Amino acid sequence: MRRFWPLILPVILFVMAAGMGGAEAQEKNDVPANVIEQKLTLVEATVCEKMKRSTPFNKAIVFSSGLEKVYCYTSFDPVPREMVIYHEWYRRDKLKAKVRLTLKPPRWSTFSSMRIRKSDQGPWRVNITDPEGKILRIVRFSITE
Amino acid sequence: MENLVLFLSSIRWQDAVDIILNSYILFRLYVLFRGTHVFRVLIGIALLWFSQRVAVALGLILTSWAIQGITAAAAFIIIVVFRNEIRSVLQAKNLKTILWGVPHQTVKTPIETIVDAAFELAGKKIGAIMVFPGMDDLDELIQGGISWDGLVSREMINSIFWHDNPVHDGAAIIEGNRIKKVGAVLPLSRRDDLPSSYGTRHRAAAGLAEMTDALVLVVSEERGSVVLAKGAEVRTVQNRDSLVRTLEEHIGSTKEQWGYKKKEKRELVIAALAALVLISAVWFSFTRGQERLVTFDIPVEYVNRNPATEIVDSSVNALQVGLSGSGTLIKSIRPDQVKVRLDLSKAAVGRNSFVITSGDIDLPPGVVLRKVKPSTVDVTLDIPGEKVLPVQVDWVGKLRKDLILTGAKIFPAKVKVKGGKTILDTLSTMYTEKVRLDQIEKSGSLKVNLALEPATLKIAADSSDSVTVDYFVKERASSLPAR
C-alpha cells in the first residue's frame, strides 16, 4: 500500500484542490444572488382597527366610521439599508394623505393611521410605495356606517 | 310696425310658393268653370266655408259644426249634381288648356240679323240709325239715349225704330250681340257737300263718322235706301252682300274682338288678383290665425362628430323647445317632426359649449320657434380607449358589531373597461355596485354588478360586467372592547 502513496497522494491533492476551487467559484457566483435577496421586501400589508405593541389587531377590510382611526400596518424583511417608504391613503381615487415612513435594516415594521369621520364613508385604498414611487402593494378597505 | 317686420321676416319662400300655387289653382278653376252653374255653386261653398271660419272665430261651436257639415255635404253634392258639366270641362279640353289656356267666350255680332233687319226697315221705309263703335270712345260725343243692353234680334230692331216708339228717332248703339243704348243723339255733320236729299238722320251719321272710327248705318225713311257712313265717306249700299261684307270688315277687324279681348283681359286680371287675395287670407287664417304655443322635449342629435372621438358627457339629453303657430298646425304637429341637431364638426376633445340657435332646430313649415331651454349645451368629447382596472367592492351599511369582515376575494380581480382616454386616465379602480353588510352573518359568496361611473364607461366585450365576491367573516377578538 505504501508503495502506492506516491501515486495516490498527488491524485488526492489534485482532487481536493479541484474541489476547493469549485467552492470558491460557487461563492463568487452567489454574490449577486445575495444582493437580490437583500432587496427591500414587503412581507405584510394590512389594515386594522388598532395597533397593540406594534402588532395589528382586528385586521379587516370594512371599518365603521364610528372608529376614531384606521391603521395601515406594513412589515418588511429584509430592509437592505435605511430608507423611506410611503403610505398613500386614497378615498375612491382622491389622495387624502401621503405618509412618509422610515425603514431600518435588517427588518422593520411600521404603520400609518388615518383619522376617520362620518363623511369618509366609501371605498378606500392605501398604496404602499418605495422612494421612487413604485407601488409595492395596494391594500383596499371600506369605511361604512 | 315691429310686428309687421316680424311677420314679414317669418314668411318663408315655401309660404310664397304655397300661396302662389293655390292661387293659380283657384284661378284656373275660375277660368275653366266661369259662366257655368258649377262656378256659382263653388262661390256658394266658398261663402259657406268663410261663414264657418267666422263662426269658429266667434266661438259659435254649434253653428260652425253645422256649417262645416253643410259645406262637406255641398261639396259632395255638386260633384254628383254637376258631374256632367265637370266632365265636359275636363274632357273637352286638353291638358294644356286645363293648366294654361284661356277658353274665350266668343261673342259674335249677328251681322246677318242686322242686315236682314236693315233691309226689312228699308223695304217698309222706316227710318233707322245704328252705330257700330270702333276703337274710339263715343261717350263724349253721344248725348242722351237710354241704356238697354238687350240682345240683337230682327224683331227688336224693328220695334226700336217703329214710328210709335218714343226712341225711334235716336240712334241704336250696337256692341257685340247687344244693343247697348237706344234713342242716342249723335253730333250733326257741318259738311256742305252732302246731298241735299240727306236729312238729319244722315247728317248725324256723317257727323259721328267724321269724328270717330265708328261705322254708322242709316235707313232712309223717304227713299228706303241703306246708307253707310265711315270716316269722311257716306255711301249708299246697293245690296245685301255689300252691307254684310262692310259690317264684317268693320266688326271683325276692330271693335268687337279688340274690345272684348280687352274686357276679358281685365276680367281675368281681376279674377287672378281676387284668387291671390282669397288664398292669402286662407293661408293666413290657417298658419297665423289663432296663434298657439306648445312645448316639446326634443332629444339632441349630434352630427358631424370626428369619428376618432366619442361623446363622453353632455349637459342635457333633451331640450325644451317652445313653438308657436296656428291652432290647426300646432295640433297636427308631432314631436318627431322637430329636430335639434348640433354640429360637432368644430368641436375639440374636451368640454365644448354650444349656444343653441334657430339654425340648429328643424321645424315643420309654418311653425315659429319661440324659446329653447336651456339655451346652451355642454358636450365633452374624448378619444376612445381601453384600460384594465382592479375591482373593489363598495361595501355599505352596518356589519354586526361582533363580526369582522377580514377579507374578500374577487373573481375576476380585474376587468377591461372602454371609454374616453381623459376619463380612463383618472381611474385606477373599478368599483362594484353597493353591497350591503346588514345581512352578512358568516362567510359567503355573492355576485355583484360593476358600477359604471361615469355612465359613458363600458365594459369591454371580453370582460364580464359582474364579479363574484367570496368574503370572509370572523368574530371580533374578545380582548378588544366592543364598539
Order of all β-strands in the sheet with B458-459: B430-436, B384-396, B414-420, B458-459
Domain co-membership, A88 together with A18: no
For residue B152, name the pLDDT band (cuts at 50, 70, 90).
confident
Return the minimum-mean-pLDDT range out of A29-38, B225-234, B456-465: A29-38
- Between CA B375 and CA B383, with CA B381 as vertex, the angle to 5 degrees is 175
* Contact between residue B162 and residue B169 where contact means Cβ atoms under 8 Å apart: no
B477–A138 C-beta distance less than 8 A: no
Domain co-membership, A136 together with A96: yes
Amino acid identity at A22: G
Pair type for strands B291-303 and B318-326: antiparallel
B393–A67 C-beta distance less than 8 A: no
By residue range, what is the domain housing residue A108?
42-144
Domain co-membership, A9 together with A63: no
A144–B398 C-beta distance less than 8 A: yes
The answer, yes or no, to whether residue B106 has pLDDT greater than 70, is no
Shortest Cα–Cα distance, A23 to chain B (Å): 46
Domain co-membership, A54 together with A86: yes
Please tell me which of A59-68, B46-55, B63-72 the model is most confident about, judged by mean pLDDT: A59-68
Q: What is d(CA B258, CA B251) in angstroms, rounded to the nearest whole number?
A: 9
Mean pLDDT across the stretch B68-72? Answer: 84
Structure-block grid coordinates of residue B67: 256649417
Q: What is d(CA B407, CA B409) in angstroms, rounded to the nearest whole number?
A: 7
- Chain A residues with beta carbon closer than 8 angstroms to that of B408: 61
Complex ipTM value: 0.74
Interface test with A, best of B387, B389, B399 (most A CBs within 10 A): B399
The closest CB to that of A123, out of B394, B404, B479, belongs to B394
Domain co-membership, A51 together with A31: no
Domain co-membership, A29 together with A75: no
CATH second-level architecture of B111-258? 3-Layer(aba) Sandwich (3.40)
Element containing residue B278 per DSSP (H, E): helix B256-287
Mean pLDDT across the stretch B25-36? Answer: 80
Same fold, B111-258 and B291-382: no
The closest CB to that of A145, out of B398, B407, B428, belongs to B398
Structure-block grid coordinates of residue B120: 226689312
For residue B92, name the pLDDT band (cuts at 50, 70, 90).
low
Largest alpha-carbon pair distance within chain B?
Answer: 162
> In CATH, what number is assigned to the domain containing residue A127?
2.60.40.1930
Whether A65 has its CB under 8 Å from any CB of chain B: the answer is no
Domain co-membership, A12 together with A56: no
Shortest Cα–Cα distance, A72 to chain B (Å): 14
Largest alpha-carbon pair distance within chain A?
Answer: 94
Q: Which residue of A has its CA nearest to B431?
A: A123
Per-residue pLDDT of B261-315, as tens digits, reads 677 788 888 888 988 998 888 887 766 655 678 899 999 999 998 888 888 788 8
Shortest Cα–Cα distance, B302 to chain A (Å): 31
Query: Chains A, B: CB contacts under 8 A, how many?
Result: 61
The closest CB to that of B399, out of A62, A67, A121, belongs to A62
Report residue B293 CA to chain centroid gap: 22
Interface test with A, best of B428, B467, B475 (most A CBs within 10 A): B428
Which top CATH class is B291-382? mainly beta
Q: Domains in chain A: how many in total?
A: 2
* Contact between residue B180 and residue B219 where contact means Cβ atoms under 8 Å apart: no
* Contact between residue B452 and residue B378 where contact means Cβ atoms under 8 Å apart: no
* Contact between residue B217 and residue B228 where contact means Cβ atoms under 8 Å apart: yes
Give the sign of the dihedral formed by CA B23, CA B28, CA B31, CA B32: negative
The answer, yes or no, to whether residue B254 has pLDDT greater than 90, is no
Domain co-membership, A74 together with A88: yes
**What fold, for B384-475?**
RNA Polymerase Alpha Subunit; Chain A, domain 2 (2.170.120)
Q: What is d(CA A39, CA A76) in angstroms, rounded to the nearest whole number?
A: 10
For residue A35, name the pLDDT band (cuts at 50, 70, 90).
very low
Scanning the structure block, which residue is given the C-alpha cell 263703335? Answer: B133
Structure-block grid coordinates of residue B89: 270641362
Give backbone dihedrals phi and psi of A133, rounded to 5 degrees, phi first: 90, 0
Bigger pLDDT: B255 or B140?
B140
Shortest Cα–Cα distance, B315 to chain A (Å): 23
Domain boundaries, chain B: 10-103, 111-258, 291-382, 384-475
The answer, yes or no, to whether residue B411 has pLDDT greater than 70, is yes
For residue B219, name the pLDDT band (cuts at 50, 70, 90).
very high
Mean pLDDT across the stretch A122-137? Answer: 94
DSSP secondary structure of B8-57? HHH--HHHHHHHHHHHHHHHHHHHHHTTSHHHHHHHHHHHHHHHHHHHHH
B477–A58 C-beta distance less than 8 A: yes
A92–B429 C-beta distance less than 8 A: yes
Distance (Å) of CA B28 to CA B39, B83, B96, B269: 11, 18, 12, 12
Pair type for strands A122-129 and A135-144: antiparallel
Mean pLDDT across the stretch B208-227? Answer: 89
pLDDT at residue B246, rounded to an integer: 87
For residue B38, name the pLDDT band (cuts at 50, 70, 90).
confident
Which three-class secondary structure state does DSSP give residue A79? coil
Q: What is d(CA B236, CA B233) in angstroms, rounded to the nearest whole number?
A: 10
Q: Which residue of B has its CA nearest to A62?
A: B405
A57–B480 C-beta distance less than 8 A: yes
Domain co-membership, A74 together with A115: yes
A60–B406 C-beta distance less than 8 A: yes
pLDDT at residue B154, rounded to an integer: 86
Nearest Cα to Cα of residue A37 among A81, A78, A85, A82: A78
Per-residue pLDDT of B107-122, as tens digits, reads 567 888 888 899 999 9
Structure-block grid coordinates of residue B63: 253653428
Bigger pLDDT: B12 or A133?
A133
In chain B, which residues touch A (CB < 8 A)? Answer: 390, 392-399, 404-408, 426-429, 431, 437, 476-477, 479-480, 483
DSSP secondary structure of B105-163? ------HHHHHHHHHHHHHHT--EEEEE--SS--TTT-EEEEEEEEEP-HHHHHHHTST
For residue B417, name the pLDDT band (cuts at 50, 70, 90).
very high
Shortest Cα–Cα distance, A58 to chain B (Å): 7
